[in-house]
Amino acid sequence: MKELYGLEPGGYRRQNAFFNARSIVDMAETTEEPTRSHALEQIARIKATYALASNTYQSHKGEANIPLG
């Protein structure tokens, strides 16, 4: 991918002809109170939920015996 897109694997251009990527955390941090605090609390809850789901998946994925080929 680096040869094709000029980026490390997993990377992407934050701006291209189709979209401009923005960080939702950066957006939340630039808002006024009380919206800022509410948004950052919601982001923290989403991150915690994602981490729990990811940890659960990672700890059980070897048990699934799903053929990958």
Residue 23: C-alpha distances to residues 13, 27, 43, 45 (Å): 13, 6, 11, 16
Domain that holds residue 35: 23-60
pLDDT tier at 8 (50, 70, 90 boundaries)?
confident
- Looking at the domain assignment, is residue 53 inside a domain? yes
Number of domains in the chain: 1
- Looking at the domain assignment, is residue 68 inside a domain? no
- Looking at the domain assignment, is residue 40 inside a domain? yes
pTM: 0.67
Sort 16 into a burial class: Cβ within 10 Å, 0-12 / 13-18 / 19+.
exposed
- Looking at the domain assignment, is residue 2 inside a domain? no
List Cβ neighbours of 36 (8 Å cut-off, separation of 6 or more): 28, 29
- Whole-number pLDDT of residue 3: 58
- Looking at the domain assignment, is residue 13 inside a domain? no
Query: How crowded is the C-beta side of 20, counted as CA atoms within 13 Å?
Result: 1
Distance of CA 27 to the CA centre of its chain: 15
* pLDDT exceeds 70 at position 67: no
- Looking at the domain assignment, is residue 39 inside a domain? yes
